[in-house]
């Protein structure tokens, strides 16, 4: 327990440093110290203060919320499905949120109403959650949940492809593709207020499932005889992950691999206990997304790299490493 | 009479996949005894254990635990009252032996430590306590899982083929542990396929066949030739 707190403290320190750098990075050149001064004690009419408070702070806070969600959801789903290669995408909510956003762009709603994308995406995520919970009702096995998630995800991806395919407007297609790549660019406090309640509720549900996830180490039947209410745990984890991940994708688009790799980065320090990795995974996820966002803003390119592109580029090789490593450790 | 049973099935009917598996089965198990449940594959042994644990719904009948009707309860509501060792159990994460044995125990540190030490001592695996369980052999893992059940200090232990796939040394170690536990007052119920081991280690053998109670034998009365022939389709010579 002391080791867990110590590691979480280190992660919080890294997250704090990443936040300071995140607030400093951008076209308006500031040092981390100047950014902190502008944030805490800057005059309201100072342009740097406005940049830090109105543009960079919401971007950073959205990044923290999304990163924490993805890290926590990855850890919770790996524990619940007892599969180290599970990630938030496995329940199909990410793809469904993406479909909702794509419909908002394709239908022209996004151009007339700024919140159309997150609202449509949240609707997509909630519909997918309802279908998932209906398909994985009371006596559902882990396999049923995975298969239901794959089915929902495949359908959402197919419908997204259909929209792109039939769209007569090349600019809309470009917007759709760019949104799907995932980014924290231009995120505001409004995005945070919209997604925040769902993210908080979802993360709270997943954290409440921690003790049950530990018992699942022995499988469902033994865990139930040890006091696990499986129906309640399924609701906590599946609904919690769906709400929080759906809201995250609705806000920033698809940011892949964070949920998959973060729990594996945490385990060497806190062990494999599926309940104990939840909080460190949330903090590590938040730090990782902020660090990735710092990279996309500082890597020289003709236009800013998308967050999902960078996490994919880094995450995919790590995933291949995991496949080899997991085969050895989990034999 | 039924009041003396630690756990008891009364006229149980259980269906699995729409097919009746247990048919009007009544059988009780006493404290301070090792009872072996034997029978051919598909007889309903595992189904009986799961019905007693409240992991399976009852079509009709009752389950009583320490004289209390628990038919309407679910498995998670009986934690700490029945210990369960499932058939070919899985361990999904490479936790240490100590972490596994204490999973699900009460949060109070002193109680946890006491239960842990007693369970490690009884199963003679204290030397492995800090090792990741997935690095242990199959026999050592079986002892760890047994220690996990013992640490709960449940008055009833139900184990489904606890010696499956183990070498003779570990089979004996596991069964000796169960005997010691029964001597300490626990009701131990073991589903077994090794009839000779059942005769050697059990105080009582319950023979289940086609979902019903075929015979209830108290040791030293062994399995008779008629039972071996009618239930298992073998003779005594085949056991040797």
Domain A2-329 fold = ABC transporter involved in vitamin B12 uptake, BtuC (1.10.3470)
Which among B83, B51, B14, B45 has a CA at the least distance from the CA of B198? B45
Structure ipTM over 0.90, yes or no: yes
Closest residue to A225, CB basis, from B84, B96, B134? B84
Residues of chain B neighbouring A215 (CB-CB closer than 8 A): 103-104
Domain residue extents for chain A: 2-329
Residue B52 near residue B63, CB atoms below 8 Å? yes
DSSP state of B4: G
Q: Answer yes or no: do B99 and A219 touch at CB < 8 A.
A: no
Instruction: Give the chain A residue whose CA is nearest to the CA of B151.
Output: A226
CB contact under 8 A, A225 and B79: yes
pLDDT of residue B109: 66
Angstrom distance (rounded) from CA B238 to CA B201: 19
CA pair distance A124, A180, nearest whole angstrom: 14
Tell me which chain A residue has its CA closest to the CA of residue B86: A222
Chunked into runs of 10 residues, chain A (331 residues) has average pLDDT values of 85 96 89 90 88 94 97 95 86 90 88 84 88 75 85 94 90 88 90 92 96 93 94 90 90 90 92 94 97 91 85 86 70 54
Taking 50 as the pLDDT cut, the residues of chain B under it are 1-2
- As given in the structure block, the two tokens for residue B93 are 């994460």
Separation between Cα atoms, residue B116 and residue B100, nearest integer Å = 10
* Paired tokens of A155: 């359908």
- The residue assigned the tokens 């999902």 is A308
A 267-296 → B contacts, CB under 8 A = 271-274
From B235's Cα to the closest Cα of chain A, the distance in A is: 36
Contact B187, B6 (CB under 8 A): yes
Q: Inter-chain contact B80–A273, Cβ cutoff 8 Å?
A: no
How many alpha carbons lie under 13 Å from residue A295 in its C-beta half-sphere? 14
B99 CB neighbours in chain A (<8 A) are: 271, 273
Q: What is the pLDDT of residue A2?
A: 72
Q: What CATH number matches the domain at B2-239, 3.10.110.10, 3.30.450.20, 3.40.50.300, 3.40.50.1100?
A: 3.40.50.300
Contact B104/A226, CB-based, under 8 Å?
yes
Out of B53, B89, B104, closest to residue A215 by CB: B104
Give the pLDDT score at A144: 84
Strands ordered across the beta sheet of B5-16? B19-30, B5-16, B60-65, B68-69
Interface check A322 vs B, CB under 8 A: no
Q: Show which residues on chain B lie within 8 Å of chain A, measured between beta carbons.
A: 50, 53, 55, 74-76, 78-80, 82-86, 89-96, 99-100, 103-104, 134, 145, 148, 152
CA distance B106 to B115: 10
Contact A225 B91 (CB under 8 A): no
C-beta atoms of A222 and B50 within 8 A = no
Which pLDDT does position B1 carry in this prediction? 43
Which ranges in A136-219 belong to alpha helices (H)? 142-166, 170-180, 189-208, 210-215
A254-300 pLDDT, tens digit per residue, is 898 899 999 999 998 999 999 999 999 999 999 999 999 999 999 88
C-alpha separations of B23 from A227, B8, B50 in Å: 28, 15, 15
- CA atoms of B237 and A176, how far apart (whole Å): 76
Q: Does A235 touch chain B (CB under 8 A)?
A: no
Query: What does the pLDDT read at residue A326?
Result: 66
Using CA coordinates, name the residue in chain A closest to B156: A225
Q: A269 to chain B nearest CA, in Å?
A: 13
Strand (E) or helix (H) holding B116: helix B109-123
Put simply, the answer to whether B78 touches A331 (Cβ < 8 Å) is no
Q: Are B181 and B157 in contact (CB under 8 A)?
A: yes
A226, closest residue in chain B (CA to CA)? B79
Q: What is the pTM of this model?
A: 0.90
């Amino acid at each position: 327990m002391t080791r867990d707190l110590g590691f979480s403290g280190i992660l919080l320190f890294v997250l704090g440093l990443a936040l300071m750098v995140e607030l400093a990075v951008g076209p308006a050149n500031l040092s981390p110290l100047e950014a902190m001064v502008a944030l805490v004690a800057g005059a309201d009419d100072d342009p740097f203060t406005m940049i830090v408070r109105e543009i960079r702070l919401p971007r950073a806070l959205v990044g923290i919320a999304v990163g924490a969600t993805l890290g926590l959801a990855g850890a919770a789903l790996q524990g619940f499905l007892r599969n180290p290669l599970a990630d938030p995408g496995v329940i199909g909510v990410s793809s469904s949120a993406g479909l909702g956003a794509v419909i908002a762009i394709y239908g022209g709603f996004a151009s007339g109403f700024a919140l159309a994308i997150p609202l449509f995406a949240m609707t997509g995520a909630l519909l997918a959650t309802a279908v998932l919970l209906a398909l994985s009702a009371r006596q559902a096995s882990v396999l049923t949940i995975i298969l239901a998630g794959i089915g929902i995800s495949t359908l959402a991806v197919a419908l997204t492809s259909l929209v792109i395919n039939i769209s007569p407007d090349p600019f809309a297609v470009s917007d759709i593709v760019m949104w799907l790549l995932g980014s924290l660019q231009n995120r505001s406090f409004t995005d945070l207020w919209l997604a925040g309640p769902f993210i908080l509720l979802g993360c709270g549900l997943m954290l409440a499932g921690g003790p049950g996830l530990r018992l699942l180490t022995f499988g469902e039947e033994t865990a139930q005889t040890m006091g696990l209410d499986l129906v309640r745990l399924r609701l906590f984890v599946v609904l919690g992950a769906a709400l929080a991940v759906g809201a995250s994708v609705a806000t920033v688009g698809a940011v892949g691999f964070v949920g998959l790799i973060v729990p594996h980065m945490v385990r060497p320090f806190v062990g494999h206990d599926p309940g104990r990795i939840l909080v460190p995974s949330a903090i590590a996820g938040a730090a990782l997304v902020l660090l990735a966002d710092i990279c996309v803003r500082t890597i020289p390119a003709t236009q800013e790299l998308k967050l999902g592109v960078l996490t994919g580029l880094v995450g995919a090789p790590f995933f291949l490493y995991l496949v080899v490593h997991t085969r050895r450790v989990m034999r | 009479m039924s009041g003396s049973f630690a756990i008891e099935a009364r006229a149980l009917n259980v269906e699995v996949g729409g097919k009746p598996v247990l048919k009007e089965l009544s059988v009780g198990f006493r404290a301070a005894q090792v009872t072996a449940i034997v029978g051919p594959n598909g007889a309903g042994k595992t189904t009986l254990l799961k019905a007693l644990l409240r992991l399976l719904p009852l079509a009709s009948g009752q389950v009583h635990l320490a004289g209390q009707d628990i038919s309407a309860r679910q498995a998670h509501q009986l934690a700490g009252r029945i210990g369960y060792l499932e058939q070919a159990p899985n361990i999904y994460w490479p936790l240490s032996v100590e972490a596994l044995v204490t999973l699900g125990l009460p949060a109070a540190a002193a109680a946890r430590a006491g239960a842990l030490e007693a369970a490690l001592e009884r199963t003679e695996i204290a030397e492995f306590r800090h090792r990741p369980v997935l690095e242990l052999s199959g026999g050592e893992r079986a002892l760890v899982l047994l220690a996990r059940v013992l640490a709960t200090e449940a008055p009833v232990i139900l184990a489904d083929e606890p010696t499956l796939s183990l070498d003779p040394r570990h089979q004996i170690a596991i069964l000796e542990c169960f005997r010691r536990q029964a001597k300490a007052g626990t009701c131990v119920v073991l589903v077994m396929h090794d009839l000779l081991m059942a005769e050697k280690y059990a105080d009582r053998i319950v023979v289940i066949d086609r979902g019903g109670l075929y015979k209830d034998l108290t040791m030293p009365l062994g399995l008779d030739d008629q039972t071996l022939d009618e239930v298992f389709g073998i003779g005594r010579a085949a056991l040797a």
